[in-house]
C-alpha cells in the first residue's frame, strides 16, 4: 500500500509534506481528510513555519505507545522558551493535538508559576486593567501568597 | 521532619480512613508501594495513609461556558490561558488573580475551580497523611504520590484552631473556599470549620449541620429532626457531607443515639440485584441510619437499618428499606475514639 502524503501550508506560505497516517493524529486534519479527501494543500493561517516545522517533527515521531508520554515531555522541555511554547500550544490547539497542547501548557505553567505579576503579564501578553487601589485589596486578601 | 522518635502512632487502619480518602488528588494505582515507601521514609511508625482516588469531572463541557464568558485581553486564545492557569499551584493562582480583571473572575468561578482541581491534582497527585502523636495530638501532612513519597512542603497543614476537641472529619475534593486541593472539616464544640489548607483559609459555621451544594456553589445548613416521643427515634444528626462519596457519621454522646453517616453507602437496586457504592446520586445524599433499640447494640443482627436520603434540591428526606442482613453479612464497624464511626455494608 502506498503511503499517501498531505501538504500543509504555514502562515508565511511555506509548504510541508507529511504522510497522511501521521498527519491524522491531528483531529482537525483527520476531519478534513474524512470530509473531502484533502487532496489539495491544507492551509494553516495561524501557524508560522518555524512552529509548523516543530509540529511536523512531533507528528513524525516513531515512538512506542508506552514511551510516548516521556517523549512529549522531553519534546517540549527541549523547547523551553515561553514564546515558542505558546506558539506550539496554539498550533496544537488549532490542529487539535491534545497531548502536545497539554504538554506545552503544562510546561508554560511550570515556567511561570513563580513569576511576578509583571512577568506573568508579559509572558502571556496580558494588559493590566487595574488601579493600584484595586490591586491592594485583592493582594491583602491572601497576603501570604505574595 | 523529625518524625522518628516522637511518634508512637497508633495504627488506625480502618474503613474510616479509607473513607477519608477523598482527597481526590488524582489516583494511585500503587497504594501499597506508596505505603511501603512512606514506612521506609519515616521509620517504622504506622501512619494511616489516605490514598487518593481519581475523581473525574465533566470538565470539558463546563469549560465551554467559561471560554465564551471571559475575554482575557490577550492575543492568545482563551482556551490556552484557561488551560495554563488550571495547571498552576494554588499559591500562584492567588497571585494571578491580580493580573487582570478577567483573570480574577475566571479564577473565582466554580467551573474553573473544578477544572483546576482536576488538572492540577492529576498532574500532581498527592496523598494526605494523618498521624497520631504520643501526646494524643494529630498531625497532618501532604506527600507527593511519587516513589519516594516526597513531603510536599508547599501545602502546609496546620490545624487552623488550637482546640482540644478539634478533629478532622473529612476531606472534600471540591473547593469550598477557593481552589481546592484539600479540604478539611474540623469540629469543635460549637462550630464547624471547613478549611482549605491550599489557600490557608477557614470558615466558621455554627452547628448543627452544613454542607456544600455544588449547584449553588454554596453551603447548605440542615438539621435532622429529632423526635423524642416516637418509638422509631431518629438520632439527632450532624451530617457532614463533603461532596464526594464520603459521609462520616457522628455518634451523639448526649443523646446516646447513633447517627450514621456513611463512608461508602452501597445502595441495593432490586431490579438488577446489584449493590452500588454510591452515596450521592439522583441529587440526594444517602446514608445509613440505625434505629437504636434498647438492649440491641448497633452492629447486632436484630438492629434495624435503613438508608436515609436527603434530596439536596427539594430538601426532603426519604428512607430506603434495606434487605435483611444474613448472619455472615454483618456490617463492618470501625471505631475511632468512641466518637467516630463508619460503616461499610457487605458486598
**pLDDT computed for residue A133 by the predictor:** 85
Q: Are B234 and B260 in contact (CB under 8 A)?
A: no
The separation between CA A65 and the C-alpha centre of its own chain, rounded to angstroms, equals 21
Chain B residues touching residue A108 (CB < 8 angstroms): 84
Does A27 reach chain B within 8 Å, measured CB to CB?
no
- Residues near B157 by Cβ (< 8 Å), separated by ≥ 6? B139, B140, B141, B142, B182, B197
Q: Which three cell numbers stand for residue B78?
A: 482563551
Q: How confident is the model at residue A91 (pLDDT cuts 50, 70, 90)?
A: very high
Does B123 reach chain A within 8 Å, measured CB to CB?
yes
pLDDT at residue A110 greater than cutoff 60: yes
How far is B57 from B49, CA to CA, in rounded Å?
A: 24
How far is B249 from B252, CA to CA, in rounded Å?
A: 9
Q: Which three cell numbers stand for residue B202?
A: 477557614
**Which of A24-38, B52-66, B132-146, B233-247 is the least confident region?**
B233-247
**pLDDT computed for residue B307 by the predictor:** 62
How far does the CA of residue B146 sit from the closest CA of chain A (Å)?
Answer: 16
pLDDT at residue B89 greater than cutoff 70: yes
Return phi, psi of residue A58, to 5°: -65, -45
The residue among B63, B86, B95 with the most chain A CBs within 10 A of its CB, best to mutate, is B95
pLDDT above 70 as % of chain A: 96
How far does the CA of residue B34 sit from the closest CA of chain A (Å)?
Answer: 22
**pLDDT computed for residue A53 by the predictor:** 92
More confident site: B100 or B22: B100
How far is B90 from B108, CA to CA, in rounded Å?
A: 12
Q: Which residue of A has its CA nearest to B108?
A: A138
Does B74 reach chain A within 8 Å, measured CB to CB?
yes
pLDDT at residue B10 greater than cutoff 70: no
**pLDDT computed for residue B313 by the predictor:** 55
Whether the predicted interface score ipTM is above 0.85: yes
Containing B127, the helix (H) or strand (E) segment is strand B126-132
pLDDT above 90 as % of chain B: 0
pLDDT of B186-239, one tens digit each? 333 344 454 566 666 655 544 334 444 445 444 443 333 222 223 333 322 233
The separation between CA B307 and the C-alpha centre of its own chain, rounded to angstroms, equals 20
pLDDT of B295-329, one tens digit each? 555 445 455 556 666 665 565 667 766 555 433 33
pLDDT mean over B104-109? 82
pLDDT mean over B164-182? 30
Handedness of CA B139, B142, B145, B151 (dihedral sign): negative
**pLDDT computed for residue A108 by the predictor:** 93
**pLDDT computed for residue B169 by the predictor:** 34
pLDDT mean over A71-75? 89
**pLDDT computed for residue A62 by the predictor:** 76
More confident site: B196 or B34: B196
Chain A residues touching residue B160 (CB < 8 angstroms): none
Distance (Å) of CA B176 to CA B88, B159, B283, B336: 18, 17, 18, 26
Is the Cβ pair A112, B123 closer than 8 Å? no
Q: Which of residues 83-112 of A touch B (CB under 8 A)?
A: 86, 89-90, 93, 101-102, 105-106, 108-110, 112
pLDDT at residue A95 greater than cutoff 80: yes
pLDDT at residue B163 greater than cutoff 60: no
Does B27 reach chain A within 8 Å, measured CB to CB?
no
Q: Are A123 and B96 in contact (CB under 8 A)?
A: no
The residue among A110, A115, A142, A143 with the most chain B CBs within 10 A of its CB, best to mutate, is A142
**Which of A64-73, B137-146, B167-176 is the least confident region?**
B167-176
Q: Which of residues 111-140 of A touch B (CB under 8 A)?
A: 112-115, 117, 120-121, 124-130, 135, 138-139
How far is B275 from B267, CA to CA, in rounded Å?
A: 5
Average pLDDT, chain B: 47
**Which of A24-38, B119-133, B145-159, B266-280 is the least confident region?**
B266-280
How far does the CA of residue B5 sit from the closest CA of chain A (Å)?
Answer: 32
Burial class (CB in 10 A: 0-12, 13-18, 19+), B239: buried
Containing B240, the helix (H) or strand (E) segment is strand B240-241
**pLDDT computed for residue B279 by the predictor:** 44
pLDDT at residue B244 greater than cutoff 70: no
Q: How confident is the model at residue B134 (pLDDT cuts 50, 70, 90)?
A: low
pLDDT of A124-138, one tens digit each? 888 888 888 888 888
Q: Which three cell numbers stand for residue B148?
A: 519516594
pLDDT mean over A45-53? 90
Is the Cβ pair A108, B104 closer than 8 Å? no
How far is A49 from A11, CA to CA, in rounded Å?
A: 7
Distance (Å) of CA B91 to CA B138, B203, B307: 25, 19, 41
**pLDDT computed for residue B4 by the predictor:** 32
How far does the CA of residue A127 sit from the closest CA of chain B (Å)?
Answer: 7
pLDDT at residue B47 greater than cutoff 80: no
More confident site: B164 or A136: A136
pTM, 2 dp: 0.56
pLDDT mean over A38-66? 84
Amino acid at each position: 500500500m502506498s503511503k499517501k502524503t498531505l501538504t500543509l501550508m504555514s502562515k508565511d506560505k511555506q509548504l510541508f509534506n507529511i504522510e497522511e497516517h501521521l498527519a491524522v493524529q491531528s483531529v482537525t486534519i483527520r476531519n478534513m481528510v474524512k470530509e473531502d479527501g484533502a487532496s489539495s494543500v491544507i492551509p494553516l493561517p495561524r501557524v508560522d513555519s518555524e512552529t509548523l516545522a516543530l509540529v511536523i517533527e512531533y507528528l513524525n515521531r516513531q515512538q512506542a505507545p508506552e514511551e510516548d508520554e516521556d517523549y512529549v515531555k522531553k519534546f517540549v522541555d527541549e523547547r523551553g522558551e515561553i514564546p515558542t511554547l505558546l506558539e506550539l500550544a496554539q498550533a496544537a490547539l488549532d490542529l487539535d493535538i491534545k497531548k502536545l497542547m497539554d504538554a506545552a501548557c503544562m510546561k508554560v505553567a511550570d515556567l511561570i508559576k513563580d513569576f511576578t505579576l509583571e512577568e506573568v503579564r508579559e509572558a502571556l501578553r496580558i494588559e493590566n486593567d487595574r488601579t493600584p487601589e484595586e490591586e491592594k485589596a485583592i493582594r491583602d486578601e491572601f497576603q501570604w501568597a505574595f | 521532619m523529625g518524625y522518628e522518635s516522637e511518634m508512637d502512632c497508633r495504627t488506625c487502619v480502618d474503613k474510616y480512613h479509607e473513607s477519608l480518602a477523598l482527597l481526590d488528588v488524582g489516583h494511585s494505582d500503587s497504594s501499597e508501594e506508596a505505603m511501603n515507601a512512606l514506612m521506609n521514609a519515616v521509620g517504622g511508625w504506622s501512619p494511616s495513609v489516605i490514598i487518593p482516588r481519581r475523581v473525574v469531572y465533566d470538565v470539558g463541557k463546563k469549560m465551554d461556558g467559561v471560554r465564551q464568558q471571559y475575554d482575557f485581553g490577550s492575543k492568545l486564545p482563551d482556551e490556552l490561558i484557561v488551560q495554563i492557569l488550571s495547571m498552576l499551584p494554588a499559591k500562584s493562582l492567588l497571585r494571578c488573580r491580580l493580573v487582570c480583571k478577567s483573570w480574577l473572575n475566571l479564577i473565582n468561578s466554580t467551573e474553573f475551580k473544578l477544572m483546576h482541581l482536576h488538572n492540577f491534582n492529576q498532574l500532581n497527585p498527592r496523598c494526605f497523611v494523618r498521624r497520631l502523636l504520643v501526646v494524643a495530638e494529630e498531625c497532618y501532612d501532604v506527600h507527593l504520590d511519587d516513589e519516594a513519597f516526597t513531603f510536599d512542603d508547599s501545602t502546609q497543614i496546620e490545624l487552623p484552631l488550637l482546640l482540644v476537641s478539634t478533629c478532622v472529619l473529612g476531606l472534600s475534593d471540591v473547593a469550598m473556599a477557593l481552589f481546592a486541593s484539600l479540604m478539611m472539616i474540623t469540629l469543635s464544640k460549637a462550630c464547624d470549620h471547613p478549611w482549605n489548607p491550599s489557600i490557608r483559609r477557614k470558615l466558621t459555621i455554627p452547628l448543627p449541620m452544613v454542607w456544600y451544594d455544588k449547584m449553588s456553589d454554596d453551603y447548605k445548613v440542615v438539621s435532622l429532626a429529632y423526635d423524642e416521643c416516637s418509638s422509631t427515634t431518629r438520632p439527632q444528626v450532624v451530617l457532614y457531607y463533603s461532596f464526594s462519596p464520603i459521609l462520616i457519621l457522628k455518634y451523639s454522646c448526649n443523646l446516646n443515639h447513633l447517627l450514621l453517616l456513611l463512608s461508602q453507602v452501597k445502595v441495593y437496586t432490586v431490579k438488577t440485584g446489584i449493590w452500588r457504592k454510591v452515596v450521592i446520586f439522583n441529587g440526594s445524599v444517602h446514608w445509613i441510619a440505625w434505629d437504636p433499640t434498647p438492649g440491641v447494640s448497633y452492629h447486632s443482627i436484630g438492629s434495624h437499618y435503613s438508608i436515609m436520603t436527603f434530596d439536596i434540591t427539594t430538601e426532603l428526606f426519604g428512607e430506603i428499606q434495606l434487605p435483611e442482613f444474613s448472619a455472615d453479612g454483618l456490617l463492618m464497624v470501625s471505631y475511632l475514639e468512641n466518637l467516630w464511626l463508619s460503616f461499610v455494608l457487605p458486598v
